[in-house]
């Protein structure tokens, strides 16, 4: 009765009943890989919730104070108010540490699920027309996510993050003509400056989340409007969508997934230590922790810096240092390629049709091969981002390990691409076996004592079956 | 109650009990690991319950097939949309003069909106070229205590700053004592490395990290960030890793009483390359700087306890 009244009320004011009815009946196709995007969404929800709690305690100030909290190894040390507030949040605020660690874990899982989601969309061709806009927003979310992560883990003003900021300053400085200006403007003066923490804080808790929220909203709106892709199956067509109705089954499942995500993230936050800033110590410009590596999603950028040859050259009096190419130009090219991929593929394949079917990776061997190459390169770069730690673990010299990685950065993508291409092409061209075609076979005894096989072909629509 | 019913009920009960548990733990002062485990059960109970509910207790809700409701847009619609947009634009453009002025005003506003960017930071000026080291600056350690020539044994090293700028990011330097006959410095550099005491900028020329690792047996400084490695004996030449420029040297001398003093600023600009790093520090700047130096030197000298 109350629902009826609410719907009537909406209808009289917003003409809402047809809207409600239409959207609650919307159907969403089921596949485990379609949950990756939801995982990112729910990680983001938890980031906002835990982040709000953290923001109530964090002090964005580089001013120095003497640490007098309960963590004995640092008592009497001169630390910034920012670092002091993070230690207080971790050791003195009840439930503070579980919130802080859950926030960090959520950020790692947020990025992981975005990347996994993107890989899924890439290999199934779900970015094709009419879904290019969703893809572009996805690339935007990766970039914004990296920025959110970097500004976030720089806030505690600990030794590890301070070194990361010094590298960021150097990267900005390496840009021709405007570099010194850009670096000075952002840091409010020569490194380390005094203006940085409040700026990072504003970016981290206001500007970047707002951008991410905006992009997520548009992304969801577009997905809702365009309806989801689905895999080929009997009875499915390009013009229809088959799946679970939103209300109540899909909604209950999705909310269930949200709570399971929250549960796992809080478990990680409670039991698995992450970013223990009290071990790193407060930031001082003249000390650096060894080993030092960024969060996982920046690992490939770090790896690029570590593997890049020590090229420095001067063109018309302009010095191009060792950082400009690997830290600005190469990532710029990679992200441009990633963002424009749907358009490049449409142009080269001359395919401008509407695609509501997600493909099997073997259906597009070249794309799948290129994707495998890209992943192979990323894995090599990621490993290079921890070359010192891995070399120690493998008990070889960093120099040797680096040489191996440099060769691998060229070789592995080629090998991975070629193998993937051949395997996909053969799978695609292979006559469909019994697994693809679930028919029946009967062995029958004939009148004269022999045996014969009777094959019943598959009964479903051949055209709609996966190729 | 069917079996799935019981599973869902159990999950929700676990959630409720864990929530009370959380309350108790919180009251007793909190404990991170137990909080994490109980949050897992509280949230996970609801999540698992809902998932089982949807999967097992809604068997009558089956997959449905619906039209996607989109396809080629009718030509007429495209026409109408184009005409509506263009109609508005033409309406504005009919007043040619006014519409151009409007574009001008918007452009001017855009430029004006950029001015506040300038407030974000000081102009870099010549700051990337110089540090706080001046001729005669006393070398002090991280506590501000003067460093004397007898403090370092062979193959040991310490971080030094100019007196009055302890902790300075751009002036930090690393002072190392090596066997003086091992040093392979050019004559003008060797003069600034008395008794095997050689001093380099501590800021890596690759990405600016502090060079906190000294490999004594190889006489190499190594950066913990990207493993750039510099040969201390040979003018801090980069021998491995992504850095291409040697570390700038700080030429030092030993006073009569054994204290170490800088003979000037570093030999080159410190830190990573920037676009105009190869420009000479211009002579007028150098003169201005040296004036500044001599005056501050005078102050420093007068402040010195006799």
| Residue B210 β-bridge partners | B203
Indicate the DSSP class of residue B138: B
Q: Do A312 and B273 make contact, defined as CB atoms within 8 angstroms?
A: yes
Domain with A144 in it: 33-341
A450 occurs within a structural domain: no
**What confidence tens digit (pLDDT) does each residue in A43-53 have?**
999 999 999 99
Where residue B29 falls (left for φ over 0; alpha for ψ -120 to 50; beta otherwise) is: left
Four-CA torsion A41, A47, A48, A53, nearest 10 degrees: 160
Mutate to test the interface with B, among A263, A283, A326 (most CBs of B within 10 A): A263
Cross-chain residue pair A30–B63, CB shorter than 8 Å: yes
Kindly state whether residues A378 and A319 are assigned to the same domain. Answer: no
Task: Tell me: do A331 and A381 sit in the same domain.
Answer: no
CB spacing of A27 vs B64 below 8 angstroms: yes
Q: Residue A177 is nearest to which of B66, B170, B275, comparing CB atoms?
A: B275
Residues A77 and A159 in one domain: yes
Which residues in chain A have their CB less than 8 angstroms from residue B55's CB?
Answer: 253
The answer on A372 and A288 residing in a single domain is no
* Contact assignment for A190 to B67 by CB distance below 8 Å: no
Q: Quick check: is A141 in a domain?
A: yes
Q: Final residue of a domain: which of A395, A413, A428?
A: A428
What is the Cα B239 distance to its own chain's centre?
24
Across chain A, how many H-helices and E-strands are there?
17, 10
A367 and A316 co-located in one domain: no
What's the complex ipTM?
0.89
Q: How many domains does chain A have?
A: 2
- Give pLDDT tens digits for A414-442: 999 999 999 999 999 887 655 555 567 77
Judgement on whether residues A89 and A228 belong to the same structural domain of the protein:
yes
Q: What is the CATH number of the domain that holds A314?
A: 1.20.810.10
CB contact under 8 A, A242 and B243: no
3-state secondary structure of B273: coil
Distance CA B249, CA B236 (A): 8
Task: Compute the count of residue pairs across chains A and B with CB atoms less than 8 Å apart.
Answer: 287
DSSP label at residue A203:
I
A296 and A366 both lie in a single domain: no
**Residues A228, A186: one domain?**
yes
CA pair distance B213, B220, nearest whole angstrom: 8
Nearest to A374 by CA among A349, A400, A341, A422: A341
Task: Please answer yes or no on whether B227 and A398 come within 8 Å at the CB atom.
Answer: yes
Three-state secondary-structure class, residue A221: helix
| Residue A132 resides in a domain | yes
Residues A369 and A229 both lie in one domain? no
Q: Are residues A233 and A170 in the same domain?
A: yes
Nearest to A312 among B142, B245, B271 (CB): B245
Residue A177 lies in a domain: yes
CB contact under 8 A, B208 and A170: yes
**Global pTM?**
0.90
- A345 to chain B, closest Cα gap in Å: 21
Contact B227/A170, CB-based, under 8 Å? no
Domain boundary among A289, A307, A341: A341
Both tokens of B109, joined, read 């506003």
Query: Looking at the domain assignment, is residue A461 inside a domain?
Result: no
CA dihedral A442, A443, A444, A450 (to 10 degrees): 160
- Dihedral, CA atoms, B53, B55, B61, B65, nearest 10 degrees? 140
Q: Tell me if A442 is assigned to some domain.
A: no
Residue in chain A lying closest to B57 (CA): A249
**Cross-strand bridge partners of residue A78:** A66
In a domain, A208, yes or no: yes
What is the Cα–Cα distance from B171 to B96, expressed in whole angstroms?
A: 60
pLDDT tier at A3, thresholds 50, 70, 90: confident
Q: Decide if B39 contacts B14 (C-beta within 8 A).
A: no
- Chain A: nearest CA to B175, how far in angstroms? 13
- Residue B288 pLDDT exceeds 80: no
* DSSP H stretches of helix in chain B: 3-27, 32-56, 75-93, 96-114, 187-190, 283-303
Report how far apart, in Å, the C-alpha atoms of A464 and of each of A126, A234, A445, B275 are: 17, 5, 35, 59
CB spacing of A287 vs B212 below 8 angstroms: yes
Q: Is residue A446 part of a domain?
A: no
Q: Taking CA atoms, what residue in A is nearest to B225?
A: A292
* Same domain, residue pair A41 and A188: yes
Q: Which of A212-216, A237-241, B53-57 has the lowest mean pLDDT?
A: A237-241
Closest B-chain CA to A96: B32
| A302 and A379 co-located in one domain | no
* Contact (CB, 8 A) for B135 and B293: yes
Give the count of beta carbons closer than 10 Å to the beta carbon of residue A397: 11
B117-169: per-residue pLDDT in tens? 889 988 888 889 999 999 999 999 999 999 998 899 999 999 999 999 999 99
């Amino acid at each position: 009765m109350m629902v009826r009244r609410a719907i009537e009320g909406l209808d009289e004011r917003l003409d809402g009943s047809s809207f409600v009815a239409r959207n609650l009946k919307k159907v969403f196709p089921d596949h485990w890989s379609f949950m990756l995007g939801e995982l990112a969404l729910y990680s983001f929800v938890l980031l906002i919730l835990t982040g709000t709690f953290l923001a109530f305690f964090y002090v964005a100030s580089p001013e120095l104070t003497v640490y007098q909290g309960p963590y004995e190894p640092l008592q009497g040390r001169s630390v910034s108010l920012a670092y002091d507030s993070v230690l207080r949040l971790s050791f003195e605020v009840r439930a503070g540490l579980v919130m802080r660690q859950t926030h960090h874990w959520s950020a790692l899982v947020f990025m992981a699920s975005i990347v996994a989601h993107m890989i899924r969309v890439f290999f199934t061709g779900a970015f094709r027309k009419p879904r290019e806009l969703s893809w572009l927003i996805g690339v935007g979310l990766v970039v914004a996510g990296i920025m959110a992560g970097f500004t976030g883990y720089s806030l505690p003003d600990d030794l590890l993050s301070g070194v990361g900021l010094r590298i960021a300053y150097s990267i900005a400085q390496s840009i021709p003509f405007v570099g010194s200006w850009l670096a000075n403007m952002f840091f409010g003066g020569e490194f380390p400056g005094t203006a940085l923490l409040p700026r990072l804080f504003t970016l981290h808790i206001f500007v970047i989340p707002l951008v991410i929220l905006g992009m997520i909203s548009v992304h969801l709106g577009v997905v809702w409007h365009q309806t989801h892709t689905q895999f080929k199956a009997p009875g499915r067509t390009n013009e229809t969508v088959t799946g679970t109705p939103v209300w109540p089954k899909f909604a209950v499942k999705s909310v269930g997934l949200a709570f399971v995500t929250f549960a796992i993230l809080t478990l990680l936050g409670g039991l698995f230590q992450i970013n223990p800033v009290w071990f790193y110590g407060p930031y001082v410009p003249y000390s650096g922790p060894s080993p030092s590596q960024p969060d996982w999603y920046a690992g490939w950028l770090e790896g690029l810096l570590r593997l890049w040859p020590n090229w420095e050259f001067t063109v018309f009096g302009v010095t191009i240092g060792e950082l400009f190419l690997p830290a600005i130009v190469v990532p710029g090219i990679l992200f441009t390629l990633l963002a424009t991929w749907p358009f490049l593929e449409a142009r080269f394949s001359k395919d401008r049709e509407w695609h509501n079917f997600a493909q099997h990776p073997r259906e597009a061997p070249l794309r799948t091969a290129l994707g495998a190459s890209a992943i192979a390169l990323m894995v090599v770069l990621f490993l290079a981002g921890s070359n010192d730690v891995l070399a120690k673990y493998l008990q070889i010299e960093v120099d040797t390990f680096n040489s191996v990685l440099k060769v691998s950065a060229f070789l592995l993508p080629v090998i991975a691409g070629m193998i993937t291409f051949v395997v996909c092409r053969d799978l695609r061209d292979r006559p469909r076996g019994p697994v693809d075609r679930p028919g029946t076979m009967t062995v029958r005894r004939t009148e004269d004592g022999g045996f014969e096989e009777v094959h019943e072909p598959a009964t479903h629509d051949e055209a709609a079956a996966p190729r | 109650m069917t079996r799935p019913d019981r599973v869902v009920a159990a999950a929700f009960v676990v959630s409720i009990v864990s929530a009370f548990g959380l309350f108790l733990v919180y009251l007793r002062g909190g404990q991170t690991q137990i909080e994490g485990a109980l949050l897992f059960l509280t949230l996970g109970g609801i999540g698992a319950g809902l998932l089982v509910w949807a999967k097992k207790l809604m068997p009558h809700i089956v997959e449905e097939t619906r039209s996607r409701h989109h396809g080629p847009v009718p030509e007429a619609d495209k026409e109408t949309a184009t005409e509506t947009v263009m109609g508005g634009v033409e309406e504005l453009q009919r007043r040619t003069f006014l519409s151009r002025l409007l574009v001008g005003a918007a452009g001017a506003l855009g430029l004006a909106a950029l001015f506040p960017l300038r407030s974000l930071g000081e102009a870099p000026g010549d700051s990337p070229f110089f540090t706080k080291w001046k001729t005669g600056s006393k070398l002090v350690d991280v506590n501000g205590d003067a460093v004397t020539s007898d403090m370092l044994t062979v193959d040991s090293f310490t971080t030094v700053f100019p007196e009055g700028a302890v902790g300075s990011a751009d002036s930090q330097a690393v002072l190392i004592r090596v066997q003086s006959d091992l040093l392979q410095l050019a004559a003008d550099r060797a003069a600034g490395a008395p008794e095997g005491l050689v001093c380099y900028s501590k800021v890596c020329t690759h990405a600016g990290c502090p060079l906190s690792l000294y490999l004594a047996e190889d006489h190499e400084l190594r950066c913990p960030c990207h493993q750039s490695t510099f040969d201390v004996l040979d003018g801090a030449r980069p021998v491995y890793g992504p850095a291409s420029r040697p570390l700038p040297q700080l030429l030092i001398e030993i006073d009569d009483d054994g204290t170490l003093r800088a003979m000037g600023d570093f030999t080159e600009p410190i830190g990573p390359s920037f676009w105009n790093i190869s420009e000479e520090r211009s002579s007028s700047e150098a003169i201005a700087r040296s004036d500044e130096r001599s005056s501050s030197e005078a102050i420093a000298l007068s402040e010195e306890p006799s």
